[in-house]
Amino acid sequence: MEYTIPTLSVVFMVVSALFGLFIPFTLFFYMRKKHETYTASFFIGCGTFFLFAVLLKGLFGYLLLLQNIMPSPENGPLYAVIGGLMAGIFEETGRFISFKTLLRNKLSNNKNALMYGAGHGGFEAFYILFFGMMSNFIISVMNNNGSLGGPEVDANVLKVLAQTPPSMFLVGIAERLFAVAFHIAVSVLVWFAAKKIKHIMLYTLAVLLHALLNAVSFVLNNTVNVWVAEIAIYVITALCIALSVFFWKRYSHDDIQVSDTAQESKNI
């Protein structure tokens, strides 16, 4: 069966792909101008996402599939839980390691956590929106002009692209914006865990929140509809932001107290 992808869908794919470029660049320049941060924090965030979320997590998932340990996506909830935990463990561990090594000398400025989170989440937006939508765009254009064919073409992919309402190709923009906010928030949690070992429970909290977000999103997208899943993502993100603000105020205050105590001792 032949499918034709609507022109408006193709246009919205391009719009989403451009936002995949716009989001990280805007975040970088905004953070650099708004906050006095270590600029390299942004690029460390980008690199950490690529290494831990794309390469290492992807390799680990592939090995699990080879050993028939990883359940298939059809095994809904179990796949969602394991996949969510993998994302949480790999990405939050990557954050923690980066903070304790590459950024260990920059931990005194808590705003570096914001710049790092912008890089981590911004690169994810670039990776998912730009590469994902450009892939859809190329397939759609080649299909519509008749240059796509052969046994390597997955008819189900063409069917999905053809039958998806054009506006749905824009949903990813809002989702990535909230995802970036989520990444900045969990970066704050892991940041304070890296600063003091007694706050290590914040690392565990970040892992669980990340796992929850991914698992809930997968289950709802495959059992209810995309809008319910999006609302769930927004609610979990809001919860994570609230927690990060709470711990920021609490532990930043501790830093001020330590600084004041040190200053008083010096004066004596």
Cα–Cα nearest to 139, from 120, 125, 119, 159: 159
pLDDT digits (tens, 9 = 90+) for 127-137: 999 999 999 99
For residue 258, the model assigns a pLDDT of: 42
DSSP assignment string, 12-23: HHHHHHHHHHHH
What number of other Cβ atoms are within 10 A of residue 50's Cβ?
16
For residue 156, the model assigns a pLDDT of: 82
Q: Where are the domains of the chain?
A: 7-267
- pTM equals 0.89
The alpha helices in the chain, defined as continuous H runs, are 7-34, 40-48, 57-66, 76-100, 111-125, 132-144, 155-163, 171-195, 201-223, 226-267
Half-sphere exposure of 147 (CA within 13 A, CB side): 6
Query: Which of helix, strand or coil describes residue 2?
Result: coil
- Let me know if 190 is exposed, middle or buried by CB neighbors in 10 A (0-12, 13-18, 19+): buried
Ranges of residues in the chain with a pLDDT under 50 are 256-268
Give the CA dihedral 134, 175, 57, 190, nearest 10 degrees.
140
CB 97 within 8 A of CB 23: no
Question: What is the biggest distance separating any 2 CA atoms in the chain, rounded to whole angstroms?
Answer: 84
The amino acid sitting at 253 is H
The amino acid sitting at 242 is A
For residue 152, the model assigns a pLDDT of: 54
pLDDT digits (tens, 9 = 90+) for 50-97: 999 999 999 999 998 888 888 877 777 898 999 999 999 999 999 999
For residue 268, the model assigns a pLDDT of: 43
Q: How far apart are CA 21 and CA 159, in angstroms?
A: 27
For residue 153, the model assigns a pLDDT of: 63
